Amino acid sequence: MVSIISLVTGRAGPSGFGSASTAELVTEGIDASHLTVLITGGASGIGLETARVMAQHKAHVIIGARNMEAASKAKHLILKHTPGARVDVLQLDLASTRSVRAFADSFKALNLPLNVLINNAGVMFCPYQQSEDGIEMQFATNHLGHFLLTNLLVDKMKETARATGVEGRIVNLSSIAHIHTYRHAILFDDINDKKRYSDKRAYGQSKLANILHAKELSRRFQEEGVNITANAVHPGLIMTPLFRYSAISMRILKFFSSFLWKNVPQGAATTCYVALHPAMKGVTGKYFADCNEIQPSSHARDEMLARKLWDFSNKLVNSAASSKA
């Protein structure tokens, strides 16, 4: 797990970077002008900082966001910082498979390549509720929406990698919270059980799913011989809009543990490092924090659990599609 000493001191790890490194620092000197980067939840928090840094390095950035007003403001902020930046915004509600499919169609209609997919958006610690498709909200938004989106866009990524010879990269935003999940890891038989619902464990479950998703993607890409990597990252503790459901308690926690918290530029560093840095070429199926590979929980390393989650997720999205047919 993440070293407390490293968190407190900001001491660099084997990559040369650490908890104090910023997104700009870890991408210094990188030319991304040949890349198209799609990031979900790029309208605020570390998603916005990630989008800004990607655009600063001349990547063509596509922001998927539920709130189009916020996305438009984010685009203007990026353009103010980097005049001439290539930024497009498209509406995306990850809690709706209908919206995810519409977003994928809209992106494909742009006739752009796709080099990097950053599955960043999410919700945290929300009260029990179900998505439009009748799935517990944190699992639906944080995992299932990204699972479907990735499946819908992976052929475009394969096509881009073949045509350009440039390695494609998928980055799933997970969390150290993945260790605090339900007893049997994923509630495959009771995903919507309101009586068993715990906002913290449901969040941990969804973040575990993000790591397992990247792990299974990586296995499939390697088996197929595809030039795409898939990794998961823990951005660190950052006070962002994700904490809107527990703002008071989180501020109290932050007061007593201020040395553990990062600012937004530091929080976006690991995502940007894994998505852009040359040292990450060929690295896949791993989990990173503070721009260094670390070992996740035993559940997150379980290959059979990853395959079971893949099949379960496929069943859920197919069920949602058939119910709307």
Nearest CA-CA partner of 61 in 322, 69, 81: 81
Task: Look at residue 155 and tell me whether its pLDDT is greater than 80.
Answer: yes
Per the DSSP assignment, residues forming a β-bridge with 118 are: 39, 171
Tens-place pLDDT, residues 265-285: 999 999 999 999 999 999 999
Average pLDDT of the segment spanning 317-325: 81
Q: CA 313: distance to chain centroid?
A: 17
d(CA 161, CA 282): 13
pLDDT at 92 over 80: yes
> Residue 317's pLDDT band (boundaries 50, 70, 90)?
very high
Q: Is the pLDDT of residue 135 over 90?
A: yes
CB 172 within 8 A of CB 211: yes
What share of the chain has pLDDT > 90, as a percent? 86
What number is the average pLDDT over the span 168-176? Answer: 97
H or E, element range at 199: helix 199-224
- The arithmetic mean of pLDDT across residues 1-9, rounded, is 48
Instruction: Dig out the tokens for 64 from the structure.
Output: 């998927």
- Residue 236: pLDDT band by 50, 70, 90 thresholds? confident
pLDDT band of residue 33 (cuts 50, 70, 90) is very high
Render pLDDT for 193-211 as a digit per residue (tens, 0 to 9). Answer: 999 999 999 999 999 999 9
pTM (predicted TM-score): 0.92
Q: Which of 3.40.50.450, 3.90.950.20, 3.40.50.720, 3.30.360.10 would CATH assign to domain 4-323?
A: 3.40.50.720
Mean pLDDT of 179-185: 93
Query: DSSP state, 186?
Result: S
**Residue 9: how many other CB atoms lie within 10 Å:** 13
Picking from 73-77, 216-220, 243-247, which range would have the lowest pLDDT averaged per residue?
Answer: 243-247
**Torsion (CA) 274, 275, 281, 287 in degrees, nearest 10:** 30
- Is the per-residue pLDDT at 257 higher than 90? no
Please state, in angstroms and as integers, the Cα–Cα distance from residue 306 to each residue in 33, 98, 112, 213, 215, following that order: 34, 25, 31, 7, 7
Catalytic residues, which ones?
197
Sheet with strand 168-173: strands edge to edge: 87-91, 60-65, 36-40, 116-119, 168-173, 228-234, 287-289, 292-293
With bands split at pLDDT 50, 70 and 90, how would you rate the model's confidence at 54?
very high
pLDDT at 6: 52
At 258 the pLDDT is 43
Q: CA 290, CA 45: separation in Å to the nearest integer?
A: 17
